[in-house]
Structure 1
Amino acid sequence: MAHNVKGYTLQQSEYIKEIDCTVNLYEHDKTKARILYMENNDPHKTFGIAFRTPPHDSTGVPHIIEHSVLCGSRKFPLKDPFIELSKGSLNTYLNAMTYPDKTIYPISSQNDADFHNLMDVYLDAVFFPNIYKNDTILMQEGWRYHIEDKEAPLEYKGVVYNEMKGAFSSPEEVGFRKIKEALFPDITYHNESGGAPEAIVDLSYEDFLAFHKKYYHPSNSYIGLYGNLDIEEVLHFIDKDYLSHFEYQPVDSQIAKQAPFEKAKEVTTYYSVTEDKPNQLYVSYNCVTGETVDRELMVGLGILEYVLLETPASPLKKALLSEGIGEDAFGAFQTHLKQPIFSIMAKNVNQDKKARFYEVIQETLQSLVEKGIPRSLLNGALQVKEFELREGDFKGYSKGLLWYIGTMKSWIYDEDPTIYLRYETLLENLKAKKDTGYFEGLIEKYLLNNTHSIKMTIEPKVGLDAIIEEKVKNKLAKIKESWDEETLQAYINKTLAFNESQQTPDALEAIQSIPLLKREELDRKTNFPRFRKDKKNDTEYIISPIFTNQVVYLNHFIDLEGVEEESLPYLGMLVGMLSKLDTKSYAYEDLSMAIDEHLGGIEFHIQALHKVNQENTFKKVFVVKTKALFNQLEEQVKLVHTIINETSFDDKRRVREIIKEMKSMMEMSLSGDGHKIAYSVLLAGFSQAEYFDELTKGLVFYKKVCQIDEEWDTNQDEVIANLKKAYSVFMNRSRYTIGLTVDEELVNPCMEAVEQGLNQLESTSIPTTAFEFKPRIIREGLIYPGNVNYVAMGYNFKKLGFKYHGGYLMLKTILSMDYLWNEVRVKNGAYGCFADFRKSGNMFFVSYRDPNVAKTLEIYRKLPDYVENLNLSEREMVQYLIGTISGMDFPYTASTEGYTAQVYALVDTTEADIQKTRDEIFNTTNETLRSFAEAIRKVLEQNEYCVFGNATSIANNDSLFDTTVNI
């Protein structure tokens, strides 16, 4: 129902069936600010404000401002309102994102008061930030010269500076940056909005402020609202407290269009490796393809990218891999730009195969145009897209959040913001066009005959990160030498003043400016997932009878008890192989097409599930997750049992292709997951469950895959035999537990169908012998070719005689949001740092994109003193209680509720167990928190740590490590 609101003009109001919302588009009368309200009865509300922010250079000013406006404002004059909100809000989302041409500040919450508070803090931050009063914000969040005495070397420090050093540690990120730079030489996309490390240090305070003053104005804003709101009240608040304080101001923020090239270009750049690997090229073919506002074209090209490159049956992927061109071939379709980029990439390509990469692309695409794309491939891809759109499962995030961000693909370019909220007509049109040569036409126009394209090669350079670091070091040394005594002392004084400002706590009244819910407004009762257990033919079913709109979420949990240690890495390999190999019923290409045609998705995972009520025990499971519409149930069951009962490992060439693909995918995730690698290796030294994870999906597993790949020519028969042995685990019905999430009336027919599949398996007893675990002391440096570090330290407190208590979860919030945030991030320039205390007893602290090693370990060692002296006020206690509960009360979707229930049932976790933890959190006092200091002290006295870091940092701290390893 449309609402006229004083101070605004309602320009458009329309019910959109696909999202079940009435979409109201307003314009603020005074400033011309744009407001889009997606109106419905959803209590999970969303607010967002975006600005068009095209960068004029690569200093990263849009990104640094994104960080900086959240460091204090007019109403909320403390140093870090963002972290204060994170400590004490019931938000389900709280973040900000910098894109190449826009910056978005979205929040969501299910609590009305909390939603209003978050909206108020974010609006005040973007319109009235303290950056104009305080230049130390730029020094902290962007970059600064750091020097504490005359003899010390001059350094660069800053949160975004270190974040982007980490971001460009991976060859993939280097490649994407250079691709964008090369395809758009004349417009804003040539610049790096996140900031290139070498350019960030050129950003002046004056340019920093000028950028905010120009672009962060209501006349350049795009405000989104979603959910069950009193829209008149909300819009009145936004006008009264914010928009009415401004006059209309024309803002020149238009995103220009890059003129197409007359001729395709070739570009070469470099990435860092730790040892000489001369043949490991990354090669790509990249085309500018239309405009993002053409949604039919975007979905069509997205489907085409999926068809060509994303499945085992994809003809272009198959053609590239069959010729041995690289270890993996994949696609990327970037639609977050006005002019999207379609990329075809191959990784670890031999120099002598580089030319052939482009020839195969040309030959394969030309053949598809002439002979036509197989209909089964197109039908499957269309079904996958339709299922994704209709299911609308946003994994617990507010639908409004994702829909608001989606509107930016058209709204930001002055087109109808509802384009990306509709899909019915679009799907009908694409289905109708699939037999008319439409998709073949896309190949011809945008991929074969497109001169607005580049061929990109990324070549390895040994020790490039060290070369860059040395160059920066020399540059800083020359800058220091150029300073006279007076200038040098001025910078020392500035550094010391900065340090002091970081250590000066906020005034109490500034902290109290952040609004806070009351303790009694919090729900003391846990939100336990709904389920019941049933049994058929000795197989246990864990059933969540939840409305799923006819979608069947079916999970097979396969017990891995008694599996020998040597088989575990091979089970890990099966995660990446199942559904990609031939079976008795299907060639692997046909299997892939059948999965796309009949299912909404299939996934494979291995998990170690801790049994918290039984010390030192855990359940090892292999999980097969599927989802499909109920009318495809028969095919869903049939496909699962074809995969777990009929897979063949006889095609050695195909097995080898998948091994190379797995290796490639793991390598691509290394730099982004450095913190996980560091703490996983650490925990595996003293935790059997974490050691299991290392064997099946961690660094040990990655090294095993690399070894198998390197030794394939001599050991392939042994590898195949080991894969078959591991696969035989699936043949035993006794190992199966079934998880089923579906509408109540569909439970019985689903169980009957599943039984038909299980009846194909024999039941035999399960061995109970556990694999042997030998703890080892971890003081390890893992060297990778990057520019930052990830520092993990910890141990298991239960092994030292301490018990778990729910209050540890509150302490996790306190340490992550206060002590570690201030010491590791704010004062010492890491991008992030957090603590974790698990019910298993595993305790660890880890930093993310950290310039330091020894300094961070020293900060960890001071944790017990900090905890021992905790004396929180009642306000602080409530604040941390809220922040802790917020992390526990993420809203369920049907699939996440069902899966959570299944995991709880498998490890015998009851509602009483979860409620006990929640009660302990609510009853936590200062005395409770201080009592944890001794456990932390004893854990840290074990002096166990792992650093995933760059060669220079590891070498400079060599005395800290018992072992160092090149990754």
Structure 2
Amino acid sequence: MTLFEKLRSHDIAELRTTVEEYVEPLSGARHIHLLTDQADLAFLVAFPTVPHNSDGRAHILEHLALSGSQRYPVRNPFFSMMRRSTASFMNAMTYADRTVYPFATTDRNDFFNLLDVYLDATFFPTLDYLNFLQEGWRYTLEDGKLRYQGVVLNEMKGAFTNPLQALYNGITAQLLAGTTYAVVSGGDPLDIPALDYQALKDFHASHYHPSQALFMTAGAMPAAQVQQRIAERVLAQLPGNAPRRLPQLATVAAPRQHTIGVPAQADSASEHGVQSAWVLGESADLTALHHAHLLQAGLLGDAAAPLRKALESAGYGRPARIIGMDANARQILFHVGMEGLTREQLDDARALLQQTLEAVAQTGVPEAALQAALRDIVYQQRDTSGGRMPNILSRMLNAVPAVLRDGDAIDAFDSAAILAQLRRDIARPGFFQGLVRALLDNPARLDAHVLPDPDYFKDRAAAEEQRLATIQAGMTPAQFERIGADNRALEELQRAPADASLLPRIRPADLDRQPKALPAVPEARDGKYVFSIASNGISSARMQFDISALGEHNWPWLRLYASLRDGLGVTDMRFEQAGAWRRSQVAQFDIGVQPLLDSAGALRLSMNFYASALREDHAQIAAVLDTYVGQPRFDEQARIRFLVELMLRQRRNSLAQEGDRQAHLAASAPLSPLRAFEDASEGAAYSTFLAHLQAKMATEEGYQAVIDRLASLHESLVQCPATVLLAGSGDDAQALAALFNMAPAQDAPARHRTISGKRAALALYAPSQVNHCHIAWKAPDMQHADAPALAVAAELFQHQFLHQALRERGGAYGGSASYAEGAGTFTMQSYRDPRLAATYADFAEAVERMLDRPFTQEQLEEAIVSTIKKLDHPAAPFGAVLAAWSLHQRGIGTAARQQYRSGVLACTIDAVRQAVARWLRDASASRAASVGNLAQDMAGLEVLDLAASLGAEAQHSA
């Protein structure tokens, strides 16, 4: 018997789901349950968190809630459960006005194990003082100087490397002044040290109560089973009720103007911007929300949309990256803007924005553009993909803000009613013009000058240094002793063995002995592979050209080709006409290059053209793919120059925040043909290629050479062996296949690629306050006898060494290890790390300690469970098709998968040590780091200034 009362239920046929809404009347706690036959069991609890300053209290509380609780007073129960559970997703997220704790698993016992841990963590955390020092912030003394340290502090230093973060913070601080959205919910690193321990505990007491909580669950189980556990574990111990917290509403009576400084490279004269943002209706109001969606679709939805077309064809600047509808706050914001401007172009840009909007308020947009937007809503309602998390959990997370902001819970999951109204809306003459006119007449607007600041990081670092120096100068001996005592106590805690025996766990014996089932790859019929999947009436087609035989000198050109084609014209249509036509035809479209290493170690490359739409749009899928494969245009000179410049500027503006990926590729490229391709086509080498390309295209002769190269590349790739993957519900894929005329399937041999073999020792420099450190070794694929042991070793490294050394003691946001059998590498890495040389020393020490440290049977079993969990990560139906196809292309069958899985399940510590000695200790490593400043110990790495490489013409084959 539970205390929850059922308010209503609602069937959603497209999702095969019933939404049930409950409330517990004594506390006001709400529970939304999605009754479904899907295999995933999902849970989340969400709290409105509305801080009034930027000291990061909501974010730090999220970390501390997962660091020990009353029933589970162990260190880091969250990270312990990650290796004691088969969960396909576990996390916690702090947003501007809420904190959410979600997980998903397919195992019923695991679900209730995690439910107990999550309920106790959120409602009854210990909030230990030493954990506050570790996860939030603390003082340390380094060479006699006072310093700040802390996981969240360093995480947010990394977040602040993104210019968009600074811009968005500046917009909301002005436009939503007086609300929680005007502060940095994650914490401003300059303000985080203002948070004291008692204020954090008070924040938990006032925000984490059943009266504020929203519970959501999904799965093939009665809601009462979860409610019973909530009643026993939470409601029985936390009585009382309180009004639900809602974020404040901003009041803007007249337009405001402001200058917002953002991080920029030294050469920033052409990186000014103009930005306008309006406050619209409440995001929980579905009518207001979808009207904003239509406004975005009509103005910006494709290259022919009037505002996007005006911004891209102005002859100067480019569309701002913060643009369109923004429902992150309780009130919807709508952004328009331009960036990449000189100071002299600011007035022209403002005039262009105003004149374009005024023109659209008079003429409107084609109804087809709005119809396509409505079709996309239907597509999203049926879509079974969920990215890195199960689809059902993704839907729950998307519904949370609307429900917490007092929106309708049913409407948050089912768009049918609003769709009917929107169809009537767009049929009314002048409807869209009215949306634009209302935007123009809305006085709740901010007009901002975006000012590039090359001293942004230097000034923030100087402000921190000055503050610390002032504090240190005023400290008493007793205060210094307190700092030392706190750090000694924390270090003692961090080095103490963690006893996780109180936590529930899944054991290897509980796991399935067989590999996770994947769709069988059928025999090809005239080059077509047809898959019947549970896709809710969505059909997909991917036309693939095996380009493995193309030479390595083509690698950056292949990426360029794939990146450009989406934005260029086809047949007799210019780029803007082609964009509008394609958007009217299909819901999803993509062109990309995929690298694979086959079982012989040879690199296979494919150029893939992908389209997806509702089953009633099969003819359009075929037409779009046929047109983009067969009838490209490379004659739009101004457009190609614009797109190349856009790619280059975006890379220049994202050097620091993309540093982790760049360092990973630079470290791994000398060891793996697959990573070598990725480095050449998306890493630091590709940035240099783009810089050279832009310089080459400055002359007519150079531009023509580039166009000729792209056209020649197209002719080469369409002559390569082609196949098409087709997937849909029931017989849909077979019906779609009938629309494709393909030659009989061919299997071109992959080419063995040479790798340099020369290990990297590289520091990729871009100004910031953190580093990303990577080290890599060559490793075998999954069919090698050592592969299972290396996979288990990665989990042991991460959970038994790196987490403690890099995150707990070192202050990095993350420290991990990974065995990438598909790439042939073993790596260790740190993320948003204040250290560099010390981190590489920790990597080396971890290898040595792995060889002689005693491990318990439980620790080994946790590593085995973690490894199997990654193998069994659920995939959306079409994602499972692509996974099966990838294994098929690599030549890895069921027997090889079974052998690898059995090897993991039977792995021993001796096998782990032997593999680590053979592949890591006795082999040379390759190192690369993204570094934020050059004054630190560079650990023997050679510096490459990324900004300089982007600005200089490179010596590259063209």
Specify the TM-score bucket, using the shorter chain as the normaliser. Answer: over 0.9
- 1:561-640 matched pairs, under 5 angstroms: 561-611=548-598, 613-615=599-601, 617-640=602-625
Q: Distance between the aligned counterparts of 2:201 and 2:244, measured in 1?
A: 17
The 8 Å contact of residues 815 and 835 in structure 1, kept in 2 or not, is answered as yes
What residue number does 1:458 align with? 450
> Secondary structure of the residue that 2:26 maps to in structure 1?
coil
Aligned residue among 76, 83, 87 for 2:83 = 87
What residue number does 1:442 align with? 435
Q: Distance between the aligned counterparts of 1:369 and 1:434, measured in 2?
A: 15
Judge which range, 783-792 or 308-317, deviates more: 308-317
Q: Answer yes or no: is 1:658 the counterpart of 2:643.
A: yes
Counterparts in 2 of 1:586 and 1:764: CA distance versus 1, 3 Å: farther
Judge which range, 515-524 or 710-719, deviates more: 710-719
Q: Answer yes or no: is 1:829 the counterpart of 2:811.
A: yes
- 1:405-424 matched pairs, under 5 angstroms: 405-424=397-416
Judge which range, 921-930 or 739-748, deviates more: 739-748
CA RMSD of aligned residues (A): 2.4
Q: Deviations for 1:610-630, whole angstroms, at most 9, x for unmatched residues?
A: 11x213x11011111221234
- 1:668-687 matched pairs, under 5 angstroms: 670-687=655-672
Judge which range, 666-675 or 343-352, deviates more: 666-675
Q: Distance between the aligned counterparts of 1:486 and 1:897, measured in 2?
A: 61
Q: Answer yes or no: is 1:101 the counterpart of 2:92.
A: no
Judge which range, 76-85 or 904-913, deviates more: 904-913
Aligned residue among 206, 218, 228 for 1:214 = 206
- 1:183-202 matched pairs, under 5 angstroms: 183-202=175-194
The 8 Å contact of residues 556 and 624 in structure 1, kept in 2 or not, is answered as yes
Q: Distance between the aligned counterparts of 1:172 and 1:364, measured in 2?
A: 24
What residue number does 2:275 align with? 284
Counterparts in 2 of 1:636 and 1:403: CA distance versus 1, 3 Å: closer
Q: CA deviation at 1:773?
A: 4.7
Q: Distance between the aligned counterparts of 2:82 and 2:673, measured in 1?
A: 33
Q: Answer yes or no: is 1:857 the counterpart of 2:840.
A: yes
Q: Answer yes or no: is 1:34 the counterpart of 2:30.
A: yes
What residue number does 2:362 align with? 370
Q: Distance between the aligned counterparts of 1:911 and 1:881, measured in 2?
A: 20
What's the % identity of the aligned pairs?
Answer: 22
The 8 Å contact of residues 603 and 750 in structure 2, kept in 1 or not, is answered as no
Aligned residue among 104, 119, 123 for 1:123 = 119
> Secondary structure of the residue that 2:148 maps to in structure 1?
strand
- Matched to 2:736, the amino acid is C
Q: Distance between the aligned counterparts of 1:668 and 1:744, measured in 2?
A: 46
Aligned residue among 680, 688, 693 for 1:695 = 680
Q: CA deviation at 1:750?
A: 3.1
Aligned residue among 938, 947, 955 for 2:921 = 938
Counterparts in 2 of 1:411 and 1:750: CA distance versus 1, 3 Å: closer
Q: CA deviation at 1:166?
A: 0.7
What residue number does 1:512 align with? 501
Judge which range, 907-916 or 250-259, deviates more: 250-259
- 1:443-842 matched pairs, under 5 angstroms: 443-446=436-439, 448-506=440-498, 508=499, 511-537=500-526, 539=527, 541-611=528-598, 613-615=599-601, 617-667=602-652, 670-714=655-699, 715-732=702-719, 734-743=720-729, 745-755=731-741, 758=742, 773-797=755-779, 804-839=786-821, 840-842=823-825
- 1:903-942 matched pairs, under 5 angstroms: 903-935=886-918, 937-938=920-921, 942=924
What residue number does 1:966 align with? 946
What residue number does 1:135 align with? 129
Q: Deviations for 1:243-271, whole angstroms, at most 9, x for unmatched residues?
A: 11112132562322111232x12221223
> Secondary structure of the residue that 2:155 maps to in structure 1?
helix
Q: Answer yes or no: is 1:13 the counterpart of 2:5.
A: no
The 8 Å contact of residues 47 and 98 in structure 2, kept in 1 or not, is answered as yes
Q: Distance between the aligned counterparts of 1:48 and 1:586, measured in 2?
A: 48
Q: Answer yes or no: is 1:254 the counterpart of 2:246.
A: yes
Q: How many residues align?
A: 941
Q: Please report the TM-score for the alignment, with normalisation by the length of structure 1.
A: 0.93
What residue number does 1:352 align with? 344
What residue number does 1:62 align with? 58
> Secondary structure of the residue that 1:946 maps to in structure 2?
strand
Counterparts in 2 of 1:722 and 1:531: CA distance versus 1, 3 Å: same
Counterparts in 2 of 1:302 and 1:843: CA distance versus 1, 3 Å: same
Aligned residue among 52, 72, 75 for 2:71 = 75
The 8 Å contact of residues 273 and 346 in structure 2, kept in 1 or not, is answered as no
Counterparts in 2 of 1:216 and 1:152: CA distance versus 1, 3 Å: same
The 8 Å contact of residues 163 and 264 in structure 2, kept in 1 or not, is answered as no
What residue number does 2:956 align with? none
Q: Distance between the aligned counterparts of 1:669 and 1:746, measured in 2?
A: 42
Q: CA deviation at 1:586?
A: 2.7
Q: Deviations for 1:597-618, whole angstroms, at most 9, x for unmatched residues?
A: 221211111121011x213x11
Q: Distance between the aligned counterparts of 1:902 and 1:560, measured in 2?
A: 16
Counterparts in 2 of 1:332 and 1:672: CA distance versus 1, 3 Å: farther
The 8 Å contact of residues 847 and 921 in structure 2, kept in 1 or not, is answered as no
The 8 Å contact of residues 570 and 631 in structure 2, kept in 1 or not, is answered as yes
> Secondary structure of the residue that 1:434 maps to in structure 2?
helix
- Matched to 1:121, the amino acid is V
Q: Distance between the aligned counterparts of 2:935 and 2:22, measured in 1?
A: 59
Q: Distance between the aligned counterparts of 1:127 and 1:535, measured in 2?
A: 55
Counterparts in 2 of 1:268 and 1:765: CA distance versus 1, 3 Å: same
> Secondary structure of the residue that 1:532 maps to in structure 2?
coil
The 8 Å contact of residues 265 and 453 in structure 1, kept in 2 or not, is answered as yes
> Secondary structure of the residue that 2:635 maps to in structure 1?
coil
Q: Distance between the aligned counterparts of 1:636 and 1:18, measured in 2?
A: 21
Q: Deviations for 1:105-143, whole angstroms, at most 9, x for unmatched residues?
A: 111111111000111101101111111xx2111111111
Aligned residue among 207, 215, 227 for 1:235 = 227
What residue number does 2:287 align with? 296
Judge which range, 195-204 or 522-531, deviates more: 522-531
- Matched to 2:819, the amino acid is F
The 8 Å contact of residues 274 and 966 in structure 1, kept in 2 or not, is answered as no
Counterparts in 2 of 1:927 and 1:650: CA distance versus 1, 3 Å: same
- Matched to 1:390, the amino acid is R
What residue number does 1:898 align with? 881
Q: Distance between the aligned counterparts of 2:786 and 2:695, measured in 1?
A: 44
Q: CA deviation at 1:737?
A: 2.4
- Matched to 1:915, the amino acid is Q
What residue number does 1:872 align with? 855
The 8 Å contact of residues 317 and 329 in structure 1, kept in 2 or not, is answered as no
Q: CA deviation at 1:198?
A: 0.6
Q: Distance between the aligned counterparts of 1:10 and 1:925, measured in 2?
A: 51
Counterparts in 2 of 1:907 and 1:585: CA distance versus 1, 3 Å: farther
- Matched to 2:503, the amino acid is I
> Secondary structure of the residue that 1:806 maps to in structure 2?
helix
Q: Distance between the aligned counterparts of 2:619 and 2:812, measured in 1?
A: 52
Counterparts in 2 of 1:706 and 1:388: CA distance versus 1, 3 Å: farther
Q: Distance between the aligned counterparts of 1:54 and 1:769, measured in 2?
A: 57
Q: Answer yes or no: is 1:144 the counterpart of 2:138.
A: yes
The 8 Å contact of residues 45 and 398 in structure 1, kept in 2 or not, is answered as no
- Matched to 1:525, the amino acid is Q
Q: CA deviation at 1:525?
A: 0.5
Counterparts in 2 of 1:665 and 1:737: CA distance versus 1, 3 Å: farther
Counterparts in 2 of 1:193 and 1:577: CA distance versus 1, 3 Å: same
> Secondary structure of the residue that 2:78 maps to in structure 1?
helix
What residue number does 2:314 align with? 323
Counterparts in 2 of 1:278 and 1:211: CA distance versus 1, 3 Å: same
> Secondary structure of the residue that 2:10 maps to in structure 1?
strand
Structure 2 alignment gaps of length 5 or more: 948-958
The 8 Å contact of residues 777 and 919 in structure 2, kept in 1 or not, is answered as no
- Matched to 1:146, the amino acid is T
Q: CA deviation at 1:766?
A: 7.3
